[in-house]
Chains A and B, each alone.
Chain A
């Protein structure tokens, strides 16, 4: 796997708001095609910030972002990323802004220069893939929490990305919807980075889990998730059993 070109390569990234404590420092990470990586870490450890930096929504104060081997500096460099990497936001209400589901899912393809007809076709087939047939004319704000999450996923997948960034996709989902999401993610054959606080969800949906702490990824200690129930004296803190 390692001889392939990484989709995303972050090198020594630092980020912080002026005058504040740094949120990210000396962060390095590479994601290779079809790799499914979980990110685990306490609140405020910079996980969402990391996603925003990959997408170019925030500029790192130091370090380099490489997507498919090319360095990104200017805002226009990033406009190409959007079709390669899809970001699923924590709050689906941020993602769904069109009145109807079909318009929302077709929004990305239209922006990519597809014709109206093509965009509608892409949107319909993406919805069908996710088991959302018949949702086309539903009003987005009237959807339930689970439906919103799946439609959000559809809006991102409609752009046919080569990698997904999923920011706590299970927040607010009931057990059944969570199960459905898990099945769906298992079927995807693209790389993704997934933030979650749920150990069992990460264990089922990712190949490896990195822990984030203090603005860094502890890459040397890839967390081994284990499948037994016991009391964690460290709370939800990731740890290894030796």
Chain B
């Protein structure tokens, strides 16, 4: 259900301290999302591509990941130029494509690709367990961290339970169609899933209490930042500062 194709690896990015990776990815997203100038966005995209290369990500799997984004972007390119007000550039019948619309589309395209690539390189290169530990050490509220980790742990169990229920329906001749019987069956399945999930939650809580759980989670890991981590983080921060600098200087899309 959730596979982590990039989590295993031994690239310089994989070895980087996970805390600095999470912080850099967050910072980068803000810088890119708030920038307007094509120079900044282009530089950001190039930086993101460099990260992807440094992380030695499998290009095929990467493209597979980006496909949904690209499909969404195609939709934007079809709609936005025609619906944004501004100087007309071309006409299709009664509709006019505007310069502003195209600029907006180009910005969104560059921004979304840069952010997604950078996140894949920095954050998707650690598994969920490590991400959880990292967020915990970055003082993200415990409840959010454990909500994330427990969701990750049990989504597979819930998926398996859903599969079992669906199979049970199928072997008794259930064929989904567009009718009330189908909707009702799915509603029952969903209802059962909720009941089972809450029963499961109760049992997990009991199991945790049996092992002395009293409402407080203790984290097992501490990451130690090495000198190389500090240097790496400093270099990447400098690049980020450069992006902000370009944006500051130009301060307009073109």
Contact = CB atoms under 8 A, between A and B. Distances in A.
B15 interface: no
Nearest to B213: A111
B218 A116 contact: yes
B152 interface: yes
A55 interface: yes
B208 A97 contact: yes
B212 A116 contact: no
A65 interface: no
A100 interface: yes
Contact of B210 (A82, A120, A141): A82
Interface residues of B, number: 27
Interface string A68-98: 0000000000010011001101010111011
Contacts of A55: 210
Contacts of B153: 97-99, 140-141
B203 interface: yes
Interface string B24-62: 000000000000000000000000000000000000000
A99 B220 contact: no
A24 to B, nearest CB: 18
A139 B127 contact: yes
Contacts of B219: 116
Which range contains the number of A residues in contact with the other chain? 20 to 34
Given A100-B129, A103-B129, A139-B127, A57 B210 contact: yes
Given A99-B128, A99-B153, A141-B153, A119 B220 contact: yes
Contacts of B207: 87, 89, 94-95, 97
Contacts of B129: 98-100, 103, 139
B203 A91 contact: yes
Contacts of A119: 218, 220
Contacts of A108: 211-212
B157 A99 contact: no
Contacts of B167: none
Given A52-B206, A94-B203, A106-B220, A79 B212 contact: yes
A99 B131 CA distance: 11
Contacts of A112: 212
Nearest to A80: B212
B233 to A, nearest CB: 25
A76 to B, nearest CB: 10
15 contacts: A57-B209, A79-B214, A82-B210, A93-B157, A93-B200, A97-B207, A97-B208, A98-B129, A98-B149, A99-B127, A107-B218, A111-B218, A112-B212, A116-B222, A120-B220
In the A-B complex, the 8 residue pairs with the smallest Cβ-Cβ separation, listed nearest first, are A99-B129, A111-B212, A110-B218, A108-B211, A94-B203, A82-B212, A95-B207, A87-B210
Interface of A: 52, 55, 57, 79, 82-83, 86-87, 89, 91, 93-95, 97-100, 102-103, 106-108, 110-112, 116, 119-120, 139-141, 155-156, 159
Interface of B: 127-129, 132, 149-150, 152-154, 156-157, 200, 203-204, 206-214, 218-220, 222
